Structure 1
Amino acid sequence: MLDPTDPVVPAAPSSAEVAGIVPHADIPLAGVIGWPVAHSRSPRLHRHWLDRYGINGHYVPLPVRPEHLAAVLRSLTQAGFVGANVTIPHKEAVLALADVVTDRAALMGAANTLIFRPDGRIHADNTDGYGFISNLKQYAPDWAAERGPAAVIGAGGAARAVVASLLEAGVPELRIANRTRIRAEQIKAEFGAKIVVYDWAHFGNMLDGARTVINATSLGMDGRPPLRLPLDALAAGTLVTDLVYTPLRTTFLAEAEARGARIVDGLGMLLHQAAPGFERWFGPRPEVDAAARAAVLA
């Protein structure tokens, strides 16, 4: 597993212009790779941290079509980039392109953080689970996974990170429902006996007795239909969180809060998952605080 304190040395400078920035040996470059990627808030966050710590570096959006991913990754290692975040739809594909994959990235079946070594080797890691748990601990400090079952909605890459982190945190039972049941069954097959799969049509039953409920789908995001599922069995005081952070207060969170649930929005997960990558690429461990949150929301 990669050591977050392991120094990252920029690759040799190149005359190529990447995203309009001319690489320089003393100016580390990083970015976020996705398709599309213009909506990403990561450049705002990293710009805030670069300015805050007085680092002469850049973090840029990198729109990359799936068929160009392999070629772009290799070109970035030769163009002064020290690493990149990875978002939809490339999180799973980068595993096959990386030279080294951490145990947790392999377990989750996806990577969101890449480190480019001076020799051109690509290291892939996943900090989504770390970001998810850190967000809950920051905004619900009395939350404890072992207090009762967790219910996860969705079975994609983000859900896998949530499942892995909750199991590691000590949740006694993890319930999961997905529109395509086979994807949820695959998670059960990989993560073990604590996983209980529910049919999408029986979602409401999954909430009975659950102490933590997570929307790990993109439903409710700006431009997507809202996540509308029956919450009749949701107990007051249950912690409910949504990985969606645009908008911050999704319909799902609003309806859960109206039933007495404690809610945590998804923005903190974005902030916390970004911190280890920033440290590996640029040096300082950045602080996830109100100023970082405000910079992303600006």
Structure 2
Amino acid sequence: MNMPYAHVIGDPIAQSKSPLIHGFWLEKLGIAGRYKARHVEDGGLRDYLSKYREDGSWIGCNVTMPHKQSIISEIDALDPVAETLGAVNTVVRHENGVLKGFNTDAEGFLEPLKPLLEAEHLFRMARIIGTGGAARAIIAALADNGFTLVVAGRNPSKARALLDELAPRGEHHAIDLSYFAEPTDFPFDDRDRCLDLVINASPLGMEGNPPLAFDWSHAPPGSIAYDIVTNPLETPFLRSAREAGCPTIGGLAMLIGQAAAAFEKFFGAQPPREYDAELQGLLTK
């Protein structure tokens, strides 16, 4: 058998940092393997999978926009988490070319929040911008951790449908994305022992896309801004959050977390997380 290899696929894909991450871990562990980016246009999934399914050296692929939902109809089986979320970000090739889909987005998203989630809070609220595949994982993960959710999208009815599907319990809200763009004079109550998140789970702010218009008067003081965009690492959303005095979490945190779970599925080894600081340094160059 030739050297095992995996891909990350998407459209666009040139900006992906996944090859650097997986290549870094492979080198540190001394594993003979390869991981590269492949540009797969919308509508090209079937041809891509047909090409690699029968290649015994191809061990699978990570899946990014816009394929996280459309790939489901092209593969053979789903992990329970991926089935619940209705989105796949990792496909693993099993024996005889059987392709199984997984979703490691929720696990990766929650990783930098774990110390906060271990504390007790009187109230937890998250404002989530976006209604795509990544947003699905984030909605489900935060609902499971006791958050009241406000989901904003260009189509509020889609946001409402996601909440009804993924977070049927609780008093959650769906609104139009434009609501957050204009200032508000809403008087927030005392937020002591409360945990507030504002999450950009959309492509807004990504290279080649318009910035996310979010006025920080819509978030209580001290809210944590979390942007899953990784290109650029310093988005206008994060910059405006810091100007408002809010702590921030950038897209590398989720990217590395979800990649770690996928790496173990692909190469059968836990990535060497003790080198995270070195890896982040490489990713920010």
Give the TM-score normalised by structure 2: 0.88
Aligned to 1:109: 86
Q: Distance in 2 between matches of 1:259 and 1:63?
A: 38
Amino acid paired to 1:58: R
Shift of 1:34: 1.4
Out of 161, 167, 189, which is 2:164 matched to? 189
Amino acid paired to 2:67: H
In the alignment, structure 1 residue 121 sits paired with structure 2 residue 98: yes
User: Structure 1 stretches (4+) deviating beyond 4 angstroms?
Assistant: 140-146, 204-210
- Show structure 1 runs of 5+ residues with no match: 1-24
Aligned to 2:279: 292
Out of 95, 119, 130, which is 2:72 matched to? 95
Does the 8 A contact of 1:145 with 1:166 survive in 2? Answer: no
Q: Distance in 1 between matches of 2:236 and 2:11?
A: 26
Aligned to 1:64: 40
- Show structure 2 runs of 5+ residues with no match: 190-194
Aligned to 2:203: 218
Does the 8 A contact of 1:240 with 1:253 survive in 2? Answer: yes
Q: CA RMSD in A?
A: 2.3
Shift of 1:39: 1.5
Once the two structures are superposed, residues 32-80 of structure 1 have per-residue CA deviations (whole angstroms, 9 ceiling, x without a partner) of 1112212211111111011000011110111123333113213212222
Shift of 1:143: 6.7
Q: Distance in 2 between matches of 1:177 and 1:53?
A: 42
SS in 1 for 2:43: helix
Does the 8 A contact of 1:137 with 1:143 survive in 2? Answer: no
Q: Distance in 1 between matches of 2:230 and 2:252?
A: 5
Alignment of 1:77-96 (within 5 A): 77-79=53-55, 80-96=57-73
Identity %: 35
Using the TM superposition, name which of 115-124 and 209-218 deviates more: 209-218
Q: Distance in 2 between matches of 1:115 and 1:144?
A: 37
Shift of 1:135: 2.7
Shift of 1:30: 0.6
Q: Distance in 2 between matches of 1:219 and 1:144?
A: 32
Using the TM superposition, name which of 260-269 and 125-134 deviates more: 260-269
Q: Distance in 2 between matches of 1:100 and 1:251?
A: 39
Q: Distance in 2 between matches of 1:207 and 1:124?
A: 45
Aligned to 1:134: 111
